[in-house]
Amino acid sequence: MKQAIITGASKGLGKALALEMASRGYETLLVARSAPLLETLAAEISSRFNVKVHTLALDLAQTEASQTLYDWCQGASFQPTVLINNAGYACWGYFHTLPLSSQLSMLGLNVQGMVSLTHRILPLLQKQPKAYILNVCSTSAYQPVPTMSLYAASKAFVRSFTRSLRYELRKGPVSVTCLSPGPMATNFIAQANMQAMQETAQKFEMKAEDVARSGVKAMFAGRAEVIPGWMNALSVGFSKVLPDALLERIANNLYESKL
């Protein structure tokens, strides 16, 4: 059965991922905090594709959220073969000046929410002949990013967790893939209060639809990681050979000058 769970699905990359899965004939469960935005997307999917679509308004940073989602699946006899962990956001600014509560909330979603949901849904995926997990990461996972220290650290966690889990599950039916996009034409910058970076980001950003297509294709191909866009791939390549001290200076000059 072709059924997929997509988190952070109400807008941006999550919306693009939902549309991509629907275009491939998947019945989808769309999860995000905003019920109105989810319903709007569900209506669009229903009008464009001959697939069922469900919505669940849920804050995945809350401790009980993963159990709530699991219970919904059990009650609806929803048997997922795909889990796309996309929910997440960034905080921009100096670690010591940003409110600690805001930064911990970000970690609660980017790290704890993703881990909790994966742990709860994985047994359902393992019941399938073949299943997939796609964890949305970021090119910031590959290098230190001053002024986005905890966001970059959270994405480094996602990448490490994804690759480790992938290896643990290598003999079973579940394939795990890490999608690491760079700048995208979404609301990410506005949500992170990074409007000052908008002009710079526009020079390098990709369309969310292209990133989603690349990520889903890599997921079904069983790839460990995918970095959409040659400039993003080149940037990550440099981050693997250049000294951390130089990478820190470059990132700091890019972001701090706009702060």
Mean pLDDT over 183-197 rounds to: 56
Burial 203-237 (b: 16+ CB within 10 A, else e): eebbebbebbbbbbebbeeeeebbbbbeebeebbe
**Mean of all residue pLDDT scores within the chain:** 91
pLDDT computed for residue 225 by the predictor: 98
- pLDDT tier at 133 (50, 70, 90 boundaries)? very high
Catalytic center residues: 151
pLDDT at 196 over 90: no
pLDDT at 128 over 60: yes
pLDDT computed for residue 134 by the predictor: 99
pTM above 0.85, yes or no: yes
3-state DSSP call for residue 222?
Answer: coil
Within 8 A by CB and 6+ apart from 256, the residues are: 146, 147
Instruction: Round to whole Å and give the CA distance between 258 and 194.
Output: 9
CATH class of 3-256: alpha beta
pLDDT computed for residue 199 by the predictor: 56
pLDDT computed for residue 192 by the predictor: 47
Instruction: Round to whole Å and give the CA distance between 157 and 171.
Output: 23
- pLDDT tier at 3 (50, 70, 90 boundaries)? very high
pLDDT digits (tens, 9 = 90+) for 19-55: 999 999 999 999 999 999 999 999 999 999 999 999 9
pLDDT at 13 over 60: yes
Task: Please state the length of the chain.
Answer: 259
Handedness of CA 221, 227, 231, 233 (dihedral sign): negative
Mean pLDDT over 155-159 rounds to: 98
Strand 225-226 versus strand 174-179 pairing type:
parallel
